[in-house]
Amino acid sequence: MTSYSLFRQNVQQNQTTCELAVEYYLQSIEQRSDLNAFLTVNTDDARQSAKEADVRFKDDTPRPLEGMVVAIKDNISTKGLTTTCGSKMLQNFKPVYNATVIERIRNAGGIIIGKTNCDEFAMGSSNENSAYGNVLHPINNEYVPGGSSGGSAVAVAGGLAHTSLGSDTGGSIRQPAAFCGIIGFKPTYGRISRYGLVAFASSLDQIGPFANSIEDTALLLDTMSGHDPLDSTTANLPPTQSFYALHHHDDNVTVGVLPDEMLEGCNEDVISAYHNCIQKLRTSGYSITTVEIPGKSAWIPTYYILATAEASANLSRFDGIRYGFRGPENEGMDVFTSTRSLGFGPEVKRRIMLGTYVLSSGYYDAYYKKGQQARRLVHNGYKEIFAACDVLFLPTTPSTAFKFGEKSKDPVSMYLSDLYTVSANLAGIPAISIPVGNGANSMPLGMQLQAAEFEDEKLLRIAKHTMDLFA
């Protein structure tokens, strides 16, 4: 697995070229088509961009991401390049504009190699909900790669791109990163523009990178972040400079850890890896403190009430009239009904029904309003947590990757596997998953670090240091 930072050095020392890298990745994508990670490959444009990147390197004018080969989750709009969201509903949909992140990556010299498979409209934790088939885990095909950004995780873990982008509404970057043994980062809500990201739950969604190194993660954050007039929820802040800040030193870092009862439900591998990592942190000089986690029992229910409520509103635009799939007007159904009946898969329908229910006038106070109140408690709870520590250290997932079919028949057990990831989205804070070795089934294990809002740079710095410790 190559990191872009290493590749860039090699190009600068004339040991390789961007054209060679693109050819290599195009070939690998074809050879590993069994993984089903890519839905569209951007062959011609990637080749052309690679040529231009090589000229820039020759002229000694490379931009920050010059020649970085990036795979893009298929719910991020790419001009003229099919963007399906893993749904039949958008089977042939070619956006007429680029998402802001795509513009920024291209302007910085990044090469878009293709679009990656994902759970339909980013709803899922295993990639079993894509209308285009499962994405397979690159280490063992019987296991899920995680979701919903499974294709993007596999693109990096399987050596099909330097880096990739996913979207994280409740863990969809961090969880597949953990399952695949790579880095996955969800920045602070509002750090990165969502313009052009097809909305699942707008108040929770955030775009972020997958990578093999913290350096690459930082480069992508610095390129994509910063205020965007096209997304009024972006923070009015300049782009981060986390890459240059990676070598700063933080004195007296206190790491918060979970009380034992919060590990109930984790499998043995995760618990023992968690304790080992804490021991390593302690011996390397970090202060460790066990923190109370207020409102933890509300995390999953609050997330699934609010996310489905927002999803039901966001997905109402898919009506068969303006774009995308259109169902037939026969068999006693109108176009609207047949479009939505035939265009959406079962998990998306389940969420629309749940979301419509919690928003309905008779139940609004009991569910949606309560959910909003509980969200405030989660947010305030994190204020208390970060008053006691600089970063919170916790597992990314209660287990390593599970097998296909293991949870797909029982949605609640699937939802419960998001236990450690959804709270960061509810609170809007940055969170990163880093690889820490393998579990007993030889599948990768990930641990998570979370920090207070807008502490993205510090979080990446501490993640770099801890990753070196765990390596």
Instruction: Supply the residues annotated as catalytic.
Output: 73, 148, 172
Minimum distance, C-beta of residue 315 to ligand GLN, in the bound complex (Å) = 13
Least distance to ligand GLN, CB of residue 292, Å: 25
Enter the tokens of residue 6: 């290493």
The amino acid that residue 265 corresponds to is: G
DSSP labels for 369-408?
Answer: IHHHHHHHHHHHHHHHHHHH-SEEEEESSSSSPPBTTSST
User: Minimal distance in Å, beta carbon 18 to ligand GLN?
Assistant: 32
Q: Where are the beta strands (DSSP E) in 303-370?
A: none
Stretch that binds ligand GLN, among 116-124, 316-324, 361-369, 433-441 (CB under 6 A): 116-124
Stretch that binds ligand GLN, among 120-128, 233-241, 271-279, 290-298 (CB under 6 A): 120-128
Q: Could you give the 3-state DSSP secondary structure of residue 170? A: coil
Q: Is 195 left (phi over 0), alpha (psi -120 to 50) or beta?
A: beta
Burial class (CB in 10 A: 0-12, 13-18, 19+), 342: middle
Of 3, 83, 148, 242, which one interacts with ligand GLN (CB under 6 A)? 148
By beta carbon distance, the residue nearest ligand GLN is 172
C-alpha to C-alpha distance for 396 and 450, rounded to whole angstroms: 10
Residue 446 near ligand GLN by CB under 6 A: no
Is 200 one of the binding residues for ligand GLN (CB under 6 A)?
Answer: yes
Does 114 engage in binding with ligand GLN (CB under 6 A)? no
CB of 418 to ligand GLN, least distance (A): 5
Tokens at 386, concatenated: 């970060």
Phi and psi at residue 203, in whole multiples of 5°?
Answer: -85, -5
Q: What is the CA radius of gyration of the chain?
A: 21
- What is the closest distance, in whole angstroms, from the C-beta atom of residue 416 to ligand GLN in the complex? 10
Extract the runs of DSSP E, i.e. beta strands, from 414-468.
431-438, 444-451
Q: Which of residues 167-186 bind ligand GLN (CB under 6 A)?
A: 167-172
Among the listed residues 62, 110, 124, 381, the single contact to ligand GLN using CB under 6 A: 124
For 383, residues 6+ apart whose C-beta sits below 8 A from its C-beta are: 452
Number of residues that bind ligand GLN (CB under 6 A): 14
- 38 or 200: CB nearest ligand GLN: 200
Q: Nearest distance from residue 293's CB to ligand GLN, in Å?
A: 20
**Stretch of 166-174, 177-185, 242-250, 282-290 lying at the interface with ligand GLN (CB under 6 A):** 166-174
Nearer to ligand GLN, 389 or 432 (CB): 432
Nearest to ligand GLN of 54, 310 (CB atom)? 310
Q: How far is the CB of 124 from ligand GLN (least distance, A)?
A: 5
Nearer residue to ligand GLN within complex by CB, 49 or 308: 308
Contact window for ligand GLN (CB under 6 A) among 14-22, 165-173, 404-412, 453-461 = 165-173
CB nearer ligand GLN, residue 109 or residue 395: 395
Q: How far is CA 230 from the centre of its chain?
A: 21
- Mask for 389-428, x = binds ligand GLN (CB under 6 A): -----------------------------x----------
Q: Which is nearer to ligand GLN, 278 or 306 (CB)?
A: 306
105 is written with which tokens?
A: 């990556």
Near ligand GLN in 299-338, by CB under 6 A = 307
**Whole-number Å distance between alpha carbons of 150 and 462:** 26
Report in angstroms how near the CB of residue 160 gets to ligand GLN at its nearest. Answer: 21
CA separation (Å) from 154 to 135, 252, 439? 8, 36, 18
Q: Distance (Å, rounded) from C-alpha 83 to C-alpha 73?
A: 9
Which residue intervals of 227-334 are DSSP H helices?
242-245, 268-283, 299-314
Residues with Cβ < 8 Å from 445, sequence gap 6 or more?
A: 178, 181, 269, 270, 273, 400, 435, 436, 437, 438, 439
Q: Which stretch binds ligand GLN (CB under 6 A): 26-34, 61-69, 117-125, 353-361?
A: 117-125
Cβ atoms < 10 Å from Cβ of 282: 13
Report the C-alpha gap between 157 and 173 in whole angstroms. Answer: 13
- Which positions touch ligand GLN (CB under 6 A)? 122-125, 148, 167-172, 200, 307, 418
